[in-house]
C-alpha cells in the first residue's frame, strides 16, 4: 500500500507532468518549467503542472509565457480562456498571488481525492424509478449535456460539443459516460476519463437535478464507474471534489491528497 506522499508523487508524475491529451486535436506540451494542454474552444486549455523547482525569479516569466501562448490560441483557434491548475503543494508558495496579479481569477477550491478501485463499494444501484444508462452515441451525449444543465443551472454546450467531437473521432474508448433517467428525462450524468498507461482514471460530472438529490444517484454512478474501472484494470480513481461531493466520496472510501484551485485567465477579445 502506498503512503500519502507516494500516492501524491505518483499522481503528480502520471497525471500532471506526463499528462495525456484528453480529446482529438489536443496537444500536451512542455514549456520550460510547465506542462500545458492546448486545444480548441471546447477543450480544457491550461497549465496542468509546474516544476517543484519553480522559484520567484522564474515564476513571473513562466506566467507571462503562458498568457502569450493562449492569447495566440485565441487568434488561431478561438480559445477564450485558459486555466492554471494550482495545487496546494505547488511552488513557489506565493504562486497564487502572482497569478492574481497577472489577471487570473481564482474559482472555488476543490479537494483532490483518490481511492484504490479494489477498496470501493461497487454494488450500489440506483433508487427506484431511476435507470442508469451507458452512453455510446450522440443521443446519449445530448442527454448527458441536458442532465448537466439541469444539475448545475448553466449552459453545457461545451460538454456536448467536446464529447460529440470525441465520438466523431472514433475514439470513445478513453472516456465512459453515464446518464440517469427518471420518467423519461435525464436527471443526472457523469463520466470517467481513462488515461492509458497510467494508474488512474478520473471521475467527472456527477451532478444531479435538485429534485432528485439525496436519493443515492451519485453513489450509484460512482459504483457503476468503479465496476468499469476494475474491469479495465485501473488501480486508482481520482476526483476533483466540490464541497458538496467531498463528504459523499469520503464515506465511499476516497481520501484527500491535496487541494486544487483553478485560476482562470480570460484572454483578450
Q: Is the pLDDT of residue 269 over 70?
A: no
- Is 66 inside a domain boundary? yes
Q: Would you state the pLDDT for residue 165?
A: 86
Q: CA 32, 267, 69 angle in degrees (round to 5)? A: 25
Q: Please state the domain count of the chain.
A: 2
Rounded to an integer, what distance in angstroms lies between the CA atom of residue 116 and that of residue 233? 11
Q: Are residues 234 and 128 in the same domain?
A: yes
Contact 217, 180 (CB under 8 A): yes
Q: pLDDT for 158-208, tens place per residue?
A: 899 988 988 887 665 678 899 999 999 999 999 999 998 999 999 998 899
Domain that holds residue 49: 4-111+261-266
Q: Does position 139 have pLDDT exceeding 80, yes or no?
A: yes
- Flag whether 116 is in a domain: no
Same-domain status, 76 and 143: no
**What residues contact residue 196 under an 8 Å CB cut-off, 6+ apart?**
20, 174
- DSSP letter string, 136-193: -SHHHHHHHHHHHHHHHSS--HHHHHHHHHHHHTT-GGGEEEEEEEETTEEEEEEEEE
- What pLDDT is stored for residue 174 in this prediction? 77
202 forms bridges with which residues in the sheet? 193, 238
Beta strands in the chain (DSSP E): 27-31, 34-38, 46-50, 81-87, 105-106, 110-116, 130-135, 175-182, 185-194, 200-208, 236-241, 255-266
Give pLDDT tens digits for 63-97. Answer: 999 999 999 999 999 999 999 999 999 999 999 99
- Helix/strand/coil for 56: helix
Is the domain of 128 the same as that of 246? yes
Residue at 168 is within a domain: yes
Query: Both 93 and 144 in a single domain?
Result: no
Task: Say if residue 10 is in the same domain as residue 85.
Answer: yes
Residues 106 and 144 in one domain: no
Torsional sign, CA 89, 86, 254, 198: negative
pLDDT of residue 172: 59
Cis ω before 254 (30° cut-off from 0): no
Q: Are residues 125 and 245 in the same domain?
A: yes
The average pLDDT across 12-27 equals 92
Both 128 and 248 in one domain: the answer is yes
Check whether residue 105 and residue 145 sit in a common domain: no
Residue 40 belongs to domain with CATH number: 3.40.630
Query: DSSP code of 113?
Result: E
The answer to whether the predicted template modeling score (pTM) of the entire model surpasses 0.85 is yes
- In tens, the pLDDT along 223-238 reads 999 999 999 999 999 9
Residue 12 shares a structural domain with residue 43: yes
Same domain membership, residue 133 and residue 235: yes
Q: Are residues 80 and 146 in the same domain?
A: no
Amino acid at each position: 500500500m502506498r503512503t500519502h506522499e507516494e500516492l501524491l508523487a505518483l499522481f503528480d508524475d502520471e497525471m500532471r507532468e506526463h499528462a495525456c491529451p484528453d480529446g482529438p486535436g489536443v496537444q500536451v506540451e512542455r514549456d520550460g518549467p510547465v506542462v500545458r494542454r492546448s486545444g480548441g474552444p471546447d477543450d480544457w486549455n491550461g497549465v496542468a503542472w509546474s516544476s517543484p523547482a519553480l522559484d520567484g525569479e522564474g515564476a513571473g516569466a513562466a506566467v507571462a509565457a503562458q498568457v502569450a501562448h493562449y492569447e495566440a490560441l485565441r487568434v488561431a483557434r478561438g480559445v477564450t480562456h485558459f486555466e492554471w491548475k494550482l495545487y496546494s503543494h505547488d511552488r513557489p508558495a506565493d504562486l497564487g498571488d502572482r497569478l492574481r496579479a497577472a489577471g487570473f481569477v481564482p474559482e472555488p477550491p476543490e479537494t483532490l481525492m483518490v481511492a484504490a478501485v479494489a477498496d470501493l463499494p461497487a454494488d450500489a444501484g440506483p433508487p427506484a424509478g431511476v435507470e442508469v444508462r451507458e452512453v455510446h452515441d450522440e443521443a446519449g451525449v445530448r442527454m448527458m449535456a441536458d442532465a448537466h444543465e439541469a444539475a448545475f443551472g448553466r449552459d453545457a454546450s461545451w460538454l456536448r460539443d467536446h464529447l460529440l467531437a470525441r465520438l466523431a473521432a472514433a475514439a470513445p474508448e478513453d472516456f465512459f459516460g453515464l446518464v440517469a433517467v427518471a420518467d423519461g428525462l435525464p436527471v443526472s450524468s457523469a463520466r470517467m476519463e481513462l488515461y492509458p498507461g497510467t494508474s488512474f482514471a478520473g471521475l467527472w460530472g456527477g451532478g444531479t437535478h435538485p429534485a432528485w438529490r439525496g436519493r443515492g444517484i451519485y453513489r450509484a454512478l460512482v459504483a457503476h464507474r468503479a465496476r468499469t474501472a476494475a474491469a479495465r484494470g485501473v488501480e486508482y480513481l481520482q476526483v476533483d471534489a466540490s464541497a458538496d461531493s467531498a463528504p459523499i466520496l469520503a464515506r465511499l472510501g476516497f481520501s484527500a491528497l491535496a487541494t486544487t484551485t483553478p485560476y482562470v485567465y480570460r484572454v483578450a477579445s
